[in-house]
Structure 1
Amino acid sequence: MDLLTAAGTYFAKDYAEARRKFMTACDKAGVKPKSYVNPHAGPNGEELATDVAWFGPEDAKKVLVMVSSTHGVEGFPGSAGQCDWIENGRSRLPAGVGVLIVHAVNPYGFAWLRRCTEEGVDLNRNWVDFSRPLPENPGYEELHDALVPRSLDEATIEAADRKVKAYREQHGETQLNLARSGGQYSRPGGVFFGGREPTWARRTLERIIADYRLAERDLVAVVDYHTGLGPFGYGEPIADHTPGSVNVKRALAWYGESVTQPRLGTSSSVPKTGLAEYGWERLLGEKVTFVALEYGTYQPPRGMQVLRQDHWLHNETNVDWNDPTTKRIKAEIRAHFAPQMLDWQEMVLFRSRQIQRQALEGLAAA
C-alpha cells in the first residue's frame, strides 16, 4: 500500500477505533492478540487494554518490539505504524526474527487524551528504583506553580508566563527544559511526575517482557513511538543508552547518523530520569537496543500550554467529557501531539517503515 493510502487508512480518530484497527489487522494476519485489561474505563465507558501480538517463530532468538502510547495521547502515530507493518511489512519479516507489537501500553492516557497514566504519572519517568531515594529536581520545584497553575484566568496565566520567562532568562533554555521535563517526584498532579511507585502500565510491560521471555533472547530491538519534539513530521531516533556502550553502538550501526543522544547534547530531547529505556536495559542488559522514535509537531511553548491546560482540567475539575471546556482542551492536546493532517501522517509512516526495515535488517545480520 502506498504511503498516502496507508496514512488515510491506519490513523484512528480515538483510542477505541485505534484498538479496532489493530485487532482487525491482527485478525487478517491470523494472529490473536493477548490483552492485558486495564482496571479503568475510557471516557465513554469502553474497555481499556494493552493488546500484544507476536509474529514469526515463537523460538526466535532475535526480536523487534514496537511499543505505542507510552505517552497516551501520542499513541495515534504508533498505532498507525504498527497496523501498517502488520498489513504491509509483515511479508518481509526475515527468517528467524520475531516481532512483538505492544499496542497502547498506556491505554488510559490514549483514551482520555492525556500524556500521563491513570495515576497521573509520566510513564517515561516511572522507571526508577523506588527502594532508593528519588531524584530531586529543584528547578521544577521553583516553577511548579507556573507550570501547573490553579486557575486558567488571564491574570494567572500572564503571571505564570512571566515566571517561566524569568527562569529562562536567568538559567537558559536547556536548564529550563531540564527543570520542566527532566522528571520530578515531589509534585503529584504536576507535569512529568515520575510517581511514587511503579504504575499499572510499567508493571504490565514488565509482565509482557517476562511472558514473552525477552530476557532469554539473544538480541532485542525496541522502537518506542513518541511525538512532540523536533521538526514537524520528522522522526528522530533517540538513543539514551550510555554513550559509547554496546547498546548505542548497535543503534548507530542499524539506524545510521540520524541517531541522536541526549547525554551528548545532540538530540531535541534533554537527559531525563526514569526512562523506559533504563528499565529495558536493567532487565536485558547489553542484549537490548532501544530507540525512542520521536516525531516533531509544534514548538515546545505550545506543548507547555496544552499540558498546563490538561493538568488543570484533571486537577481542578470533574472532567465532564461533554463540557465545552473539556472538549476544547482535549482537542488542543490532541492537535499538538497527534496532528490530524495527512502530510504529517504520511511523513510519520515513511519514517516508521524506514526504521522498521533498518531494525529488522540489523537484527537479521547480527
Structure 2
Amino acid sequence: MPEIFGLIAQLLVDEQPLEEHAVQMDDGTTRSCFVASEEGKAFSIEIGNLSAYEHVVFEMLVDGTQIDSFLLENGDWKVRSSVKISSQTCKPLVFSKIVTSDDDDALDSPTELGSLGTIEFRVWWVQKMMKRDPTDDWEKKLPDTPISERAKVSTSHRISLGPPTAKQKGIRQIVRQMEPDKGPVARLIFRYRPKNVLQAEGIFNITRENPVQEPTSPRNLKRPAPAEKPSDEECSERARKLRRTSSVSLEVKREPAPNRTPHSISELSATEEVVVLREQVRTMQERLDRLERERTVKAEFSQVPKLEHSSQHRFVKKEEPLSQVRRIVKREVSPIRLPFPSGEIFDLTDD
C-alpha cells in the first residue's frame, strides 16, 4: 500500500485491498500507484497515521474534487465505506462509466479532465484548536455532467455517489494547518483504470524487479529470530578444539616483526622523501593550530568579568552598583490573547 513517513492509505472492495501496480515515488513526498476499477463496484478507504505527527488531516479528492477530510491522531486507523456529502447524509463512492456526448458544449464541462481517474489523499500536519456546535445544513456534489467524445481522457471510468444513508449531525472540530506554505507533508495517489486498459498499457502484469523500499515505520520493523542454543555436546567439542588450539599456539616461536621503517631520510628515494616530509609538515601544522586555539580560548576567558553571588540578587557584577541591578520580578499570565498565526483552517465534522 502507498505509504510515506508512516502515513498510509489503501482502497478496499468487498473488504479486500485492491491490488496495486507500478507503485512509484514521484518525488520526496508523493507516492502513486495504479489499481483496477470495476464498473458498479463500491469501494472503501482505509487510512492510518503511524507517523511522528501528533495530528494530521487526510484531505480526500476524487477526480480532482475535494469530497471529504478525516482527522487522525497518532496511531489512529480509520476505515470508511462512505463519505459525508451533507450535514445529515452519507453516500458510498462507486466506480462508474463515463457518460460521453457529441455536444460541443460538453467541451466546456467544469470537470477537471486531467484529474479524471484519480483518488488522491493530501495529508496535512495540523493542530487541534476547538470544537463547536453541530454544523448548519450544507451539501457537496461530484460533477456528473457528460464529457465530450472529443475530449482526451485516460480512462473510461469516473467516481459517482451511491444511494444515501442518514447520519446525525456531528460536532465541528476546528484545526489549523501547521506550515501551510510548505504544502502537504505527503500525497498518496491512486490512478484507477479498467482492468483491460491496464493490461493494454502493460501495467497490470508488471513485475517490479526493483520494488520501492517502504519508508521506515513501526509496521515495517521485524524482530530478528532468536539464535538456536547449542547443545551440550557441541559446547564440549568447541572447548576441546579451543584447548588444542591454545596448546599449539604456546609452542609457536614468535619472530619479531621486521622493522620496515628506514633509519633515516637519506635511505629513502626522492618520492618517498617528499611524502615523509609532507607528513611531518602536516603534523607540525596540526600541533601549531591546536596551540593557537588553546591560546585564543584562554584569552577570551580572561576577559570575562567575574561574578559573585548575592543573597538579594542572583548574580552581580563586581563593577556594577547594587542600585543598578534589576530585581527579579515574578511575571503573571497576561489576560490578553493573541490570535493564532496565519494558516488555512479545516472545519471538520466529528465521526
Whose Rg is larger? 2
Structure with larger RCO (C-alpha < 8 A, sep 6+): 1
Q: Which TM-score band applies after superposition, normalised by the shorter structure? A: under 0.3
Give the alignment's TM-score, normalised by structure 1: 0.23
Give the alignment's TM-score, normalised by structure 2: 0.23
